Structure 1
Amino acid sequence: MPQTAPRTSVLFHVVDFNDGGIESSLIQWLHILDRSRFDITLSVMFASPAFVSRFRALIPQDVKIEILVDRPWLNHFQSRRYAHKLSKPGRVGRDVFNTLAVRPHVRRRIAALAQRHDVIVDFDMSLRRWASQFGIAWLGVNHFSFDARLGNRPRKARRLALQYARYDAVVALNQHMADEAKAMFGGNLRRLVVLPNAIDIHAIRAAANAPGASTAPCSAPYIVSVARLDEIQKDHRTLLRAYAEMVQAHRVDEHLVIVGHGAFRRELEDLAAQLGIAQRVHFVGHQDNPHALVANARALVLSSRYEGMPMVLLEALAHGKPIVATDCPTGPREILDDGRAGMLVPVGDTHAMADALMRIVTDAALRDAMSAHALTRAQHYGIEQSNRRFTACVADILEARRSRAPAGVTAQRAV
């Protein structure tokens, strides 16, 4: 009787859970990985309110969970931060306390966990100062454009290059991001791997019909945007101006539904009023399950200055939605297959965005064609392809450790 190969024990790590794309992509990986190949543990540094109230219930029951900062006195400053009660002197105190107490505690916890695992997937690279330690393979996952985050910060880029070099492999979510890393860090990285975010297509579609799924705030057809109201990375101002241009120049039935919360909400609501579109623009805040809003929309739009590998676009593909996205670094162009699975417009170009949205809402044949392309493209990020890529990535770094063979910085793309 043939022996079953032992499973690879993988420890995923993240600092905490809030409401960003990193958290969504991590939840997808925890769900879709092949349990015949992998035994999975999740370590979380801080149990945030969002983790306790929402995300913990979304984690598969067979995933072991380790909360690293598990003593109340170690959580004092972080708890005040979550409650928005941390003053400026408090932030200084927190930094000192973290250095002297929290960090050594976390290091001891990670060292102990490393003894029971084969690979650490540092999903937000928050453990980078310890990467390469504890006799275990380390995989560091980057989620943002290197150029956008570090292009004007050469000193920080040099410091991070030294830390990133400790990983057995650094993961870029797409080829554009990998090209940025190769240009920025040169030969400093041991290994650079392209590993896109993953999606469970059937689960995403089922979520649109789940009890409690968000419903549309209007009876009219609508265009939907799902993104944090953060005008440093996102660009809702251009979206609002593009929508206003559509409304003023054409007879448009579609309303605009904006899903997400953030510090810029009041400013954006004021802008919508100034543009005369406030009655047609619906700010609905954060939605735990926005899939019904996406599935029932005429189109989805993503207006950003930079991205990483935006989960909202992958989820929109799974729903077969026509998509308009800014051609920003990094992610939209690759996700949308160079514009074949959605329309790409220049960053900040109001007229181009208005024109693209107008074409979609007025051309049913175009919508049907885009929907078909989206559904086909979604398969590239589905369970089967994602497991194949992840398995190959882990096997490569474990084999490299066993053989001690030198690894260059050429991006290995598992297509």
Structure 2
Amino acid sequence: MRQTAPRTSVLFHVVDFNDGGIESSLIQWLRILDRSRFEITLSVMFASPPFISRFRALIPQDVKVEILVDRPWLNHFQSRRYARKLSKLGRVGRDVFNTLAVRPYVRKRIASLAKHHDVIVDFDMSLRRWASQFNVAWLGVNHFSFDARLGNRPRKARRLAQQYARYDAVVALNQHMADEANAMFGDGLRRLVVLPNAIDIDAINASASAPDASTAPVAAPYIVSVARLDEIQKDHRTLLHAYAKMVSSNAVAEHLVIVGNGAFRQELEGVAAQLGIAQRVHFVGHQDNPHALIAHARALVLSSRYEGMPMVLLEALAHGKPIVATDCPTGPREILDDGRAGILVPIGEPDVMADALMRVVADAGLRDAMTANALARAQHYGIEQSNRRFAECVADILAARHAHRSVKAPA
């Protein structure tokens, strides 16, 4: 009788859930992994308000969820942080408390969970101090450009290099990011793996017609941007100037819908007013389900100065949207297949962005071709290919650990 191979038990870990791309990409992995191969647990250090109100319901029912800091007294400072009631002195107290009380407690919880798992996927690398411990394979996932985050901080880069070297493998989301890691860390990492974010294409398309999907704030056709209002990274100023140029130079029917919240919202609304486009630019804030807004847009635009591997571009591919994105480090060029699945424009150049957007909205034939290319490119990040890549990665690090143990074992 043929025996079924035992499943590999995988523990995904993240500190908490907010409203960023890391959380979205983690939910996608929890959904798409092949259950005939993998048994999955999720550990979350703190149960944040977004986790309780939104993300908990998105986690598949067969994924066991462990909240590591599960004692009310251990959550005192973190709860005040979520409520935005933590003063400067309180932040100092939190750091001391976390070092003396929270961190040892979490370490015990992780050590206990490790006994029942083959692999820990440290999805935000928040457990890097303990990577290589507990007799389990460790996979650390980096979501950002190494150069953008560490290029001007050599001391921090050296410290992190020592911690990253403890992982059985460090994951880069694309080849550009892997090239940065090789240049920065050299041979210091045990293994460097390129493992892109994954998407469930059918689920993404279905979410566009779900009851909770956001609807457009305007009846006119529109261009959509979905990004946190963080000008250090996302650069909506360039987008607003590009859109103003489109409006002033052409008869443009399309409005601009900006999805996202952040500290720069009031400033950006002021920029739109100064440029005379405030009536055509719609700031709709964060949307739990923006997929209908993406699906019905004329095009999606990303204006970032740097990225990791932006989930919004993957989701736009799944919807077959024409895309205009800055050619920033590290994600857009690879996601858009060197410009074959979207238009790449230079960082911080509104005139070039305006010309690209104008080409898209004015040329229906171009949009049709871009839609076909986007849908084809989305398959590269779909369930089948993502499972293959993840299974190969896990098999490689487990085989390497087995070989290492065999070499160390006495004859």
Both structures adopt the same fold (TM-score exceeding 0.5): yes
1:8-407 matched pairs, under 5 angstroms: 8-404=8-404
Deviations 1:394-414 (Å, cap 9, x if unpaired)?
0000000000199xxxxxxxx
Task: Give, in whole Å, the separation in 1 of the partners of 2:231 and 2:72.
Answer: 35
Number of equivalenced pairs: 406
**TM-score, scaled to structure 1:** 0.97
Secondary structure in structure 2 of the residue aligned to 1:234: coil
Secondary structure in structure 1 of the residue aligned to 2:257: strand
Task: Give, in whole Å, the separation in 2 of the partners of 1:205 and 1:235.
Answer: 28
Task: Give, in whole Å, the separation in 2 of the partners of 1:240 and 1:405.
Answer: 57
Deviations 1:136-169 (Å, cap 9, x if unpaired)?
0000000000000000000000000000000000
Paired AA for residue 261 in structure 1: N
Task: Give, in whole Å, the separation in 2 of the partners of 1:134 and 1:213.
Answer: 43
Match of 2:3 in 1: 3
Deviations 1:367-391 (Å, cap 9, x if unpaired)?
0000000000000000000000000
For structure 2, the 5+ residue unaligned runs are 407-411
Task: Give, in whole Å, the separation in 2 of the partners of 1:212 and 1:146.
Answer: 36
Paired AA for residue 237 in structure 2: R
Task: Give, in whole Å, the separation in 1 of the partners of 2:97 and 2:355.
Answer: 53
Task: Give, in whole Å, the separation in 2 of the partners of 1:345 and 1:77.
Answer: 44
Secondary structure in structure 2 of the residue aligned to 1:404: helix
Deviations 1:254-295 (Å, cap 9, x if unpaired)?
000000000000000000000000000000000000000000
Task: Give, in whole Å, the separation in 2 of the partners of 1:212 and 1:234.
Answer: 26
What's the % identity of the aligned pairs? 85
Give 1:212 deviation, angstroms.
Answer: 2.0
Paired AA for residue 199 in structure 1: I
**TM-score, scaled to structure 2:** 0.98
Secondary structure in structure 1 of the residue aligned to 2:271: helix
Deviations 1:97-132 (Å, cap 9, x if unpaired)?
000000000000000000000000000000000000
Task: Give, in whole Å, the separation in 1 of the partners of 2:209 and 2:349.
Answer: 35
Task: Give, in whole Å, the separation in 2 of the partners of 1:212 and 1:307.
Answer: 28
Secondary structure in structure 1 of the residue aligned to 2:155: helix
Give 1:172 deviation, angstroms.
Answer: 0.1
Give 1:228 deviation, angstroms.
Answer: 0.3
Task: Give, in whole Å, the separation in 2 of the partners of 1:403 and 1:286.
Answer: 48
Task: Give, in whole Å, the separation in 1 of the partners of 2:67 and 2:405.
Answer: 35
Task: Give, in whole Å, the separation in 2 of the partners of 1:160 and 1:265.
Answer: 33
Paired AA for residue 208 in structure 2: A
- 1:46 and 1:403, CA in 2 relative to 1: closer, same or farther beyond 3 A? same
Paired AA for residue 288 in structure 2: D
Paired AA for residue 187 in structure 1: D
Deviations 1:153-204 (Å, cap 9, x if unpaired)?
0000000000000000000000000000000000100000000000000000
Deviations 1:340-396 (Å, cap 9, x if unpaired)?
000000110111100000000000000000000000000000000000000000000
Secondary structure in structure 2 of the residue aligned to 1:388: helix
Give 1:233 deviation, angstroms.
Answer: 1.1
Paired AA for residue 281 in structure 2: V
**Cα RMSD (Å):** 0.8
Deviations 1:206-237 (Å, cap 9, x if unpaired)?
00011121000000000000000011111100
Deviations 1:227-256 (Å, cap 9, x if unpaired)?
000111111000000000000011100000
Paired AA for residue 284 in structure 2: V
Secondary structure in structure 2 of the residue aligned to 1:35: coil
Task: Give, in whole Å, the separation in 2 of the partners of 1:305 and 1:70.
Answer: 38
Paired AA for residue 25 in structure 1: S
Paired AA for residue 248 in structure 1: S
Secondary structure in structure 2 of the residue aligned to 1:314: helix
Give 1:83 deviation, angstroms.
Answer: 0.3
Paired AA for residue 333 in structure 1: R
Secondary structure in structure 1 of the residue aligned to 2:23: helix
Task: Give, in whole Å, the separation in 2 of the partners of 1:232 and 1:79.
Answer: 27
Secondary structure in structure 2 of the residue aligned to 1:324: strand
Task: Give, in whole Å, the separation in 1 of the partners of 2:351 and 2:241.
Answer: 9
Task: Give, in whole Å, the separation in 2 of the partners of 1:360 and 1:194.
Answer: 32
Task: Give, in whole Å, the separation in 1 of the partners of 2:323 and 2:6.
Answer: 42
For structure 1, the 5+ residue unaligned runs are 407-415
